[in-house]
């Protein structure tokens, strides 16, 4: 089998998507930051500036955040997971969307 015809390594494709999103230009290390509001503002700015996204800015930003949380899985420490979950709430606030939590 020729090297070009192999399937991409499943362990690497999500990291590539996070680094080289076709829809958003993310700030380096955005998902490692400790400030949920800063994360939300960065994702929002990236989504607003993008001319390649197919959905609304809110949906694009939220999708990228949820994608990262889901793909990180058990490799994401509890403290950073909490920061990213709070970033989802902050993102909803920025766009005037109702919170999903009571």
Residue 1 domain flag? no
Residue 41 domain flag? yes
Q: Identify the residue with better confidence: 17 or 36.
A: 36
Q: What is the pLDDT of residue 10?
A: 58
Tell me the two tokens of residue 90. Answer: 């902050």
Residue 60 domain flag? yes
Q: What is the pLDDT of residue 55?
A: 87
Residue 25 domain flag? no
Average pLDDT over the chain, rounded to whole? 83
* Of 18-22, 54-58, 81-85, 98-102, the least confident: 18-22
* Of 3-12, 43-52, 60-69, 91-100, the least confident: 3-12
User: Number of structural domains, the chain?
Assistant: 1
pTM: predicted TM-score of the whole model, two decimal places: 0.76
Residue 6 domain flag? no
Domain region containing 57: 30-96
């Amino acid at each position: 089998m020729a090297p070009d015809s192999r399937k991409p390594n499943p362990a690497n494709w999500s990291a590539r998507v996070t680094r080289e999103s076709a829809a958003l230009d993310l700030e380096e290390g955005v998902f490692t930051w400790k400030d949920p509001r800063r994360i939300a503002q960065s994702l929002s700015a990236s989504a607003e500036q993008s001319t390649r996204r197919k959905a609304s800015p809110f949906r694009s930003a939220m999708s990228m955040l949820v994608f990262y949380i889901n793909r990180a899985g058990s490799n994401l420490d509890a403290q950073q997971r909490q920061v990213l979950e709070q970033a989802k709430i902050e993102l909803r606030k920025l766009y005037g969307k109702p919170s999903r939590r009571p």
